[in-house]
Structure 1
Amino acid sequence: MPNVNKIRTALSGRPRGDASPLSSARLRTALTVFFALDGFLFAGWVVRIPAIKHRTGATASTLGLALLGVSAGAVITMMLTGRLCRRYGSHAVTVVCCVLLSLSIALPAQTGSALTLGLVLLLFGVAYGGLNVAMNSAAVDLVAALRRPVMPSFHAAFSFGGMAGAGLGGLVAGSLSPATHLFALTGLGLLVTTVAGPVLLRGRPAAATVEQRAADASEQPQKMNVHARRIVILFGVIALCTAYGEGALAEWGALHLSQDLGATPGLAAAGYSLFALTMAVGRLSGTALLERFGQTRTLVAGGTTAAAGMLLGALAPAVWPALLGFAVAGLGLANIFPVAVGRAGALAGPSGVAAASTLGYGGMLLGPPVIGFLADAFSLPVALTTVTLLATAAAVLGYAARNATNT
C-alpha cells in the first residue's frame, strides 16, 4: 500500500523518497492556527460582555439565561460532531465550523434584548462547540500519526489566542463600539480561515490513523469495559471541574473587575488576558512538569493552586490582588484539562477523548450561566468562589484516580 505508506511517512515527519517532511509541519501549523483563532475569537466576544449587557439592559440572571444559549448550542452540537467528523472528516468540519463561528460572532452586538441575545448565542454555541470537538479530533489523529505528545501545544495556542483576543479587546474597548469590534473579528476570522483552511483540507491524516485505530482496536478489544468507562467518566468530571473555572473567568471575570472593583474597561479586559497568559505558559511547561512529577501530582498541585488563586481573585478588595489571583488560577488550571483528556484517551482511545472532552467543554459552557444565577441570588464575588470549590474537587478526584494511571 504505497499511498498509505507515503501519507504515514509524511505525517510522521520522516522523509521517504519524494515525501516532504514539511507536510506534517504544515498540517500541524494550520491546526495550531485554528486553535489560536478559536481562543482569539472567543476572548474577543467575552471582553465585550459588560458593554453588551449594558446595551441589552440585562440583569445578572437574564444575562445568565442568555449565556445558556452558548451552552445549549454547544452541548447539542458536541453530541453530533463526532458523527459528522466520521462522515466528512474532522478537517472539513473544523473549517466549516470556523466559518460559522466567524460569522456568528458579529451578531451579539446587534441585539437589543436578553431574549434575542440568547437566540444568537445559540448559533454561536453551535459553531463553538462543533469547532472545539472537530479540532480536538483532528489533533488526536495528528498526535497518533506523529507518535509525539504534542497535544499540550494546541491547547497552549488556544490560550495564547485568548490572551491576544482579550488584550486587543482591552485596547479597543474605549474607542470602538462592540458592534464595530465584533464585526472586525468576523472579517479577521474569515480571512484566517481562507488562508489556513486549504492547508487543513488538503491534509489527509485519516488514511494513516484509521489503520492505526483498527490495529489498536484489535490489540485492545476490551478497552471500553465497565471499569474503563467509569474511569473515563472520572477524568471527564475532572476536566469539567477545571473547565468550569475557565468559562467562569472568561465570561464573568471582566464584569467582576469592572462592576465590583471599579476597574476601567481596559484593565477589566486585562484580567482575562492575564489569566490566559499564565495558562498558556503553564501549558508550554506541561510536558516538563509531567515528566518530573507525574500525572497525579500535577493534577493535585494544579487543582490546589487554582483553588487558592481563585479564592483571592473572587474575594480580594482591590483590582491588583484580584488580577494576581486570576494569574495564579490560570497557572493552576493550565494542565489539568489536557492531562485528564489524555488519560481518558490512553484508557479508551478516541472514544475516551470524545467523552472526556464533551464533559470538559460542557463545564466550560455551563459554568457562566450558573455563575449568573448565583450572582443574582448572592453576589458575583460569592458566585465566583464556586470555581475554588470545583478546583478543589478536581484535586481530590485527581488523587483518587491515582491507581487508574501508570504513574
Structure 2
Amino acid sequence: MVFALNGAALGSWAPRVPALSGQMHAEPGPLGLALLGASVGMLLAAVVSGRLVERTGTRLMIAVSVVIAGLLLPAIGATTSVPLFGVELLVLGASVGVLDVAMNIAAVQVERDEGKPIMPLFHAGFSVGALIGSAAAGLAASHDWTPDRHLAVAGAFAIVVLLVVLRDVPGTRPPHHEKATAPRVAPARRPVLWLLAAVALASAIAEGASSDWSAMLMVNVHGVGQGAGALAFSVFSLAMAFARLGGSWLQQKIGPTRTLAFGALLAGVGLVSAALVPVPAVGFAGFALAGAGLAASFPVALGLAGEAGKREDGSGGEREIAFVTAIAYTGFLAGPPMIGGIAQVTSYAGSFVVVAVIAVLIAPAAIGAGRAKAAEGRRKESALPGAVR
C-alpha cells in the first residue's frame, strides 16, 4: 500500500498538468522549467535520506513524507503562479524522494524477514498505484473536477490510507551498539554499489525515454494518431506491472543476475523493434517487451544494494539504497532531455536505438555487480581470524 501511495502521488498530479497550465496561463518554456522541480527535489532528497532514515527509522520518514505530499497536492491544484508551482513541485519531489528511499529500506527488511526475493512485488504496487492515480485523474477531468478539488481528495485519501497501514510498516532503528563497531565502508568506495547504480541508472533512462518519447516515436515513425500514440506508454506500464508480479518467482528460479541480464536483452529487442520496424503493431509489442524487460531492473538493483549493506544483526542497507537511488534519479532527470537531443541530431528511431543499447548495458553491469559482491565476500573471509591465507 505504501508503494502504491507513492505511485498514486505521481499518477494524480502529472495528468492534470494541462489543466494546471491553463489556470496558470503558462508558456511551455517556463512550465518545463517548473516541472523539473519535482525531479530536482527527488534527487536532492535521495542524497541525504539514507542517513536520515538510518537515524530516525523508516516508519517515521514514511509517515512524514506521505503527510507532506498529501498536504501539498491540494496546494498544487490551487496554484496560479508558475514560480510557485515549481517550488511546490520541488518540495513534493523531496518528500517523494525520502518516501522512495524509506519504503525501499522497509521493503528490504520485509524481504529479509520473509527469506525470499519479493522486491519486484513491492514495485508492482508502485506501478498499480500510478495506474490507479492516473485513471482517477482522467475520471476527475472528464467530470470537470477542478485540479484543486481533485487533488484535495487525492491528498486526503493518501493520508487516510497511511493511517490505516502505518502500524504494520517496519520502523525499527539500528541498535545503539552498532555505533561502536568498526567504521563502515562508504558506498562510493564500493565497486558493487557503482555497478548496481549503473543497472538502476540505465533502467531509469530507458523508462524515462519510454514515458516521454514513446508517443512521439509512434506518431512520427509509425504514423498513428496522437490518441493511439499515447497508448504506447500505457502498454509499457501495464507490461511492467504484470512482469513485476511474476518477477519474484523468476528471481527465485534463475537468480538476480540472470533475471537482470535476461530482462536487459528483452528490453533491448523490444526497443530496437519499436524503433526500426515501421509497423504500428510491432511498435506497441516492442514497448510491451521493453516494459516487461525493465520491470525487474530497479527493484532487484535496490534489493541487492540493501543486501550489500546488511549488518551482522540483520539491519542495515540505508546508505547503500540511498546511494543507488540518487544515481538512478539522475537518469530520470537527464535521460529524457538527452534522448530529445539525440532525436534532434538523428531521428526518433535513432534515439530509441541508443536507448536500446543503454538498456542492454544492464546485463554486463549486473554480471559485474555479482562478481564484485563475490570478491568482497572472499576478502571478508580472508580477513577473519584464523583464515587460511
TM range (shorter): 0.7 to 0.9
Residue pairs, 1:112-191, within 5 angstroms: 118-169=86-137, 175=142, 180=146, 183-191=149-157
Letter paired with 2:28:
A
After TM superposition, the structure 1 stretch with the greater mean CA deviation from structure 2, 372-381 or 139-148, is: 372-381
Unaligned runs of 5+ in 1: 1-32
- In structure 2, the partner of 1:393 is 361
Question: 2:38 aligns to what?
Answer: 70
Aligned to 1:86: 54
Structure 2 distance, partners of 1:223, 1:398, is 23
Relative to the length of structure 2, the TM-score reads 0.77
Aligned 8 A contact 2:202 2:362 in 1: yes
Residue from 161, 164, 169 that aligns with 1:195: 161
Q: Does 1:366 align with 2:334?
A: yes
Identity of aligned residues (%): 34
Question: Is this contact kept in 2: 1:163–1:272, CA < 8 A?
Answer: no
> What residue number does 1:21 align with?
none
Instruction: Give CA deviations for 1:100-124 in whole Å, capped at 9, x if unaligned.
Output: 3234445666667876654443233
Give the CA deviation at 1:303: 0.9
What is the CA–CA distance in structure 2 between the aligned matches of 1:204 and 1:37, rounded to whole Å? 13
Give the superposition deviation at 1:334. Answer: 0.8
- Deviations along 1:9-56, one digit per CA (max 9) or x if unpaired, are xxxxxxxxxxxxxxxxxxxxxxxx121121123134444556767863
Count of residue pairs the alignment pairs up: 365
Aligned-residue Cα RMSD (Å) equals: 3.7
Aligned residues of 2:20 and 2:147 also touching (Cα < 8 A):
no
- Quickly say closer, same or farther: Cα 1:292–1:307, change in 2 above 3 A: same
Say if 2:187 and 2:193, in contact at 8 Å, map to a contact too. Answer: no
Q: Please report how far the alpha carbon of residue 229 of structure 1 lies from its aligned counterpart in structure 2 after TM superposition.
A: 0.8
On the 8 A contact 2:76/2:88 being kept in 1, the answer is yes
Please report how far the alpha carbon of residue 228 of structure 1 lies from its aligned counterpart in structure 2 after TM superposition.
7.0
> Who is 2:379 aligned against?
none
TM-score by length of 1: 0.74
1:98 alignment counterpart? 66
Contact 1:170 1:270 in 2 (8 A): no
1:185/1:264 CA distance change after superposition, 3 Å: farther
SS at match of 1:56: coil
Equivalence for 1:294: 255
> For residue 19 of structure 1, what is the aligned residue in structure 2?
none
Q: 1:335 corresponds to which residue?
A: 296
- The CA distance in 1 between the partners of 2:217 and 2:140, in whole Å, is 19
SS, match of residue 285 in structure 1: helix
Deviation of 1:169 after TM superposition, in Å, equals: 4.7
2: CA distance between counterparts of 1:331 and 1:113? 39
Gaps of 5+ in 2: 311-316, 376-389
**Partners of 1:236 and 1:340 within 8 A in 2:** yes
Q: Report the Cα distance in structure 2 between the residues aligned to 1:361 and 1:316, rounded to whole angstroms.
A: 31
Matches of 2:203 and 2:280, distance apart in 1 = 23
What is the correspondence of 1:188-337 to structure 2 with a 5 Å cutoff?
188-197=154-163, 199-200=165-166, 202-203=167-168, 205-207=170-172, 210-211=174-175, 214=178, 224=185, 229-254=190-215, 261-265=223-227, 267-314=228-275, 317=278, 319-337=280-298
- 2 CA distance for matches of 1:112 and 1:322? 39
Instruction: Summarize the Cα distance change of 1:142–1:67 in structure 2 as closer, same or farther, 3 Å threshold.
Output: same
CA contact (8 A) 1:58 1:113 kept: no
* Structure 1 residues 206 and 122, CA gap change in structure 2 (3 angstroms): closer
The alpha-carbon deviation at position 151 of structure 1 amounts to 2.4
Asked if the contact 2:33/2:86 (under 8 Å) is kept, the reply is yes
Offset at residue 63 of structure 1 (A): 5.9
Q: Residues 115 and 188 of structure 1: is their aligned pair in 2 closer, same or farther, counting only changes over 3 Å?
A: closer
In terms of mean alpha carbon deviation, does 78-87 or 325-334 score higher?
Answer: 78-87
Query: 1:232, CA displacement in angstroms?
Result: 1.0
Q: How has the CA–CA distance of structure 1 residues 111 and 325 changed in structure 2, closer, same or farther, with 3 Å as cutoff?
A: farther
Query: Counterparts of 1:343-358 in structure 2 under 5 Å?
Result: 343-349=304-310, 350=317, 351-358=319-326
Q: CA deviation at 1:159?
A: 1.4
| Aligned residues of 1:345 and 1:352 also touching (Cα < 8 A) | yes
Query: What residue is the counterpart of 2:383 in the other structure?
Result: none
Cα distance, 1:153 vs structure 2: 1.8
**8 Å Cα contact 2:65/2:96 also seen in 1:** yes
Counterpart AA for 1:295: P
